[in-house]
Amino acid sequence: MNFPFEKITENAGETKAVAEEFAKELSDGDLVLFHGNLGAGKTFFVQSVCEAFGIEGITSPTFSLVNEYAEEKKIFHIDLYRVEKAEEFENIGLYDYLSDEDAIKFIEWAELFPEQLTDYDFLIAIEYYDENKRKIKIERK
């Protein structure tokens, strides 16, 4: 996969294929930020990456804020949608998660805290076009 990467996917299968290809680029310790509106497909993309690592049962961490998975890879899936201010990062242990060099970290709604999330490895923007169609942009920092 060459970066910056951009593709318009026509269906969930194409989106999943992009995620599976992206999974090959990831290393332990990587931080992947996601931007995109509600329903854009951020969680689906994370699920697809995790399935490429043999991890099933990925769910949205909207209410738990953080889901942890440890199988073939150690994964932290973080959702900042319900976090109202950066001071809450300490309370949820976000800095501890971010400093774990053994885990791949996925953060949804990263655009809500750009000042706190400047040191990342990849930025993925997913734009919703319609029920099936998405524009996926992936940048490597």
CATH 3.40.50.300 fits 5-140, yes or no: yes
User: CA quadruple 5, 115, 36, 61: dihedral positive or negative?
Assistant: positive
Predicted local distance difference test score (pLDDT) of residue 79: 93
Percent of the chain with pLDDT over 90: 73
Instruction: Estimate the crossing angle of helix 12-23 against helix 42-52, to 10 degrees.
Output: 50
Residue 19 Cα to chain centre, angstroms: 10
The region of weakest confidence among 8-12, 20-24, 41-45, 54-58 is 54-58
Express each pLDDT in 25-79 by its tens digit.
Answer: 999 999 999 999 988 999 999 999 999 999 988 888 876 788 899 877 899 999 9
**pLDDT, mean of residues 121-141:** 96
Express each pLDDT in 93-104 by its tens digit.
Answer: 888 999 999 999
Domain boundaries of the chain, sorted by first residue: 5-140
The reply to whether the predicted model has a pTM over 0.75 is: yes
Predicted local distance difference test score (pLDDT) of residue 140: 97
Residues 6+ positions from 80 with CB-CB distance below 8 Å = 65, 107, 108, 109, 110, 112, 113
- Name the 3-class secondary structure at 112: helix
What is the number of other CB atoms lying within 10 angstroms of the CB of residue 98? 20
**pLDDT, mean of residues 118-133:** 95
Please tell me the distance from the alpha carbon of residue 5 to that of residue 51, in angstroms, as a whole number.
21
